[in-house]
Amino acid sequence: MPTEETTTAPTSLSTGGLRRVLVVLCVTEIVSWGVLYYAFPVLAPSISADTGWSVSTITAGFSTGLVVSALVGIPAGRWLDRIGPRPLMTVGSILGVPAVVGIALAPNLPLFFAAWVLAGVAMAGTLYPPAFAALTRWWGPRRVRALTALTLLAGLASTIFAPLTAALLGGLGWRHTYLALAVILAAITIPAHLFGLRGPWPAPDHTEHHGTEHAPRDVVRSRAFLLLVPAIALGTFAAFAVVVNQVPLLIERGLSTSDAAWALGLGGLGQVLGRLGYGRLTTALSVRARAVVILALSAAATLLLGLLPGPEVLLIAAAMLAGAARGVFTLLQATAVSDRWGAAHYGRLNGLVSAPSMIATALAPWAGAAIAVALGGYPGVFVLLAGIAGLAALLAVGTVPRRRGSDPSVPRHLDVSSTRPHSAAGPDEVDQR
């Protein structure tokens, strides 16, 4: 009978190397998200005012970049499985620099959109999916600890770069602000990825989920995978639409703009608290139960926001609950593939899971506003979003793959079809049920 030690492939990096990789990715994710994503909503009004292009038009350029990122992320995942994160993320950082410069200097809309297309390619190599793949393969059974740390710190990207971008905008204007951000992106992420992600890329551990199908072709045709993709995409759409439309909803409920903004900020605090608690969820709940509970929590919090007329303290509490659900959902996304099929083909499979989610992210900013117009207000939007998250929870019930046959030598805690948590699993060990 195999022991617990033989079911985990040895890491190819020392403890110091693992910590170096984690620190590097925490820093580069903050910068990459800050420059390529969070700077745009701060600069969009100024871009529109200066160029005469409508906000909806320039937002379409930004959304185009996100869609390109989703599509490029599929082959990028395959390359990552083969060659590791260092070349992919370094190239992504290098491409991000001319992309941001192109956005800054674009004299017309076609070139503005072209720059965002290049930015989308850069996003595919620098944002969460490749970073998640790197930590999943390198950290092995301790990946939940690493992924939690990464998402906690990378969550500071908006906290750091939104005010930084606003400060630069006041003195430089939007074009020179983007140029300054391009310098920051180049100075930090290129050398960090090139030198900080060095080290051998470990061979896939094909024993991690013994008894399940590992061939990517078989996995992507499986019932579990075909349900997981829409479950994650629908959950992502609901989560991002809630973030974007929460302030106008709370203003409709009678809160001032300042109080609504504070509620959104406290939702960010809830997000941090939710991520801190994810490790305990992995030991307390099976893979199926964890996915269903997190998505159902998201649906419940969204429904509360849609139905509660007040008072302000309850609305803020609901916003924090929605933030907590959003926080753990990010980690659910990060571990969805490895929990079910191991890390052997994580990059490829996660690229396929992430592509519809990234498209959902691109659609969410304007979809909520469009639905609000159709329904005559934001409360109805949130009730609809709750229904979408609830549908995602129902789909999640069928996302656990079935074992092929029964092998009595397989330890129970490695059986993905098990519906009961295994008491021996530690807080840093990914629950593989």
CA angle 348, 350, 353 (to 5 degrees): 115
**Can you count the helices (H) and strands (E) in the chain?**
16, 0
At residue 374, the pLDDT reads 85
At residue 354, the pLDDT reads 85
Where in the chain is CATH 1.20.1250.20?
Answer: 5-196, 216-414
Show the tokens assigned to 253.
């409920």
CATH of 5-196, one of 3.40.50.11540, 1.10.287.70, 3.30.70.1230, 1.20.1250.20: 1.20.1250.20
- Split at pLDDT 50, 70, 90, the class of 267 is confident
Q: Give 328: exposed, middle or buried? Use CB within 10 Å, 0-12, 13-18, 19+.
A: buried
Report the largest interatomic distance among the alpha carbons of the chain, rounded to a whole angstrom: 70
Lowest model confidence (mean pLDDT) among 248-262, 300-314, 327-341: 248-262
- Split at pLDDT 50, 70, 90, the class of 151 is confident
Q: Is it the case that residue 9 has pLDDT exceeding 50?
A: no
Q: Is it the case that residue 3 has pLDDT exceeding 50?
A: no
At residue 403, the pLDDT reads 62
Separation between Cα atoms, residue 378 and residue 374, nearest integer Å: 10
At residue 368, the pLDDT reads 78
Please write the tens of the pLDDT for every residue from 88-146: 999 999 999 999 999 999 999 999 999 999 999 999 999 988 998 899 889 888 888 89
At residue 182, the pLDDT reads 97
Q: Is it the case that residue 317 has pLDDT exceeding 80?
A: yes
* Of 268 and 200, more confident: 200
At residue 205, the pLDDT reads 61
Tell me which residue of 374, 396, 368, 357 sits closest to 305, measured CA to CA: 368
Separation between Cα atoms, residue 42 and residue 45, nearest integer Å: 7
Mean pLDDT of the residues in the chain: 83
DSSP assignment of 290-351: HHHHHHHHHHHHHHHHHH----HHHHHHHHHHHHHHHHHHHHHHHHHHHHHH-STTHHHHHH
- Split at pLDDT 50, 70, 90, the class of 85 is very high
Q: Is it the case that residue 416 has pLDDT exceeding 50?
A: no
User: What one-character DSSP code corresponds to residue 54?
Assistant: -
Q: What is the CATH number of domain 216-414?
A: 1.20.1250.20
* Of 281 and 207, more confident: 281
Q: Is it the case that residue 414 has pLDDT exceeding 50?
A: no
At residue 298, the pLDDT reads 92
* Secondary structure of residue 248 in the 3-state scheme: helix
* Of 5 and 49, more confident: 49
CB 81 within 8 A of CB 346: yes
CB 333 within 8 A of CB 151: no
Q: What is the CA radius of gyration of the chain?
A: 21
With pLDDT > 70 as the criterion, what percentage of the chain qualifies? 87
Lowest model confidence (mean pLDDT) among 212-216, 225-229, 374-378: 212-216
Whether omega for the bond prior to residue 309 falls within 30 degrees of 0, making it cis, is: no
Please write the tens of the pLDDT for every residue from 342-353: 877 888 888 888
| For the ranges 135-144, 222-231, 394-403, the one whose mean pLDDT is highest | 222-231
At residue 392, the pLDDT reads 96
Please write the tens of the pLDDT for every residue from 23-59: 999 999 999 999 998 888 888 889 989 999 987 788 8
At residue 25, the pLDDT reads 96
- Split at pLDDT 50, 70, 90, the class of 427 is very low
Show the tokens assigned to 34.
């800050």
- Split at pLDDT 50, 70, 90, the class of 242 is confident
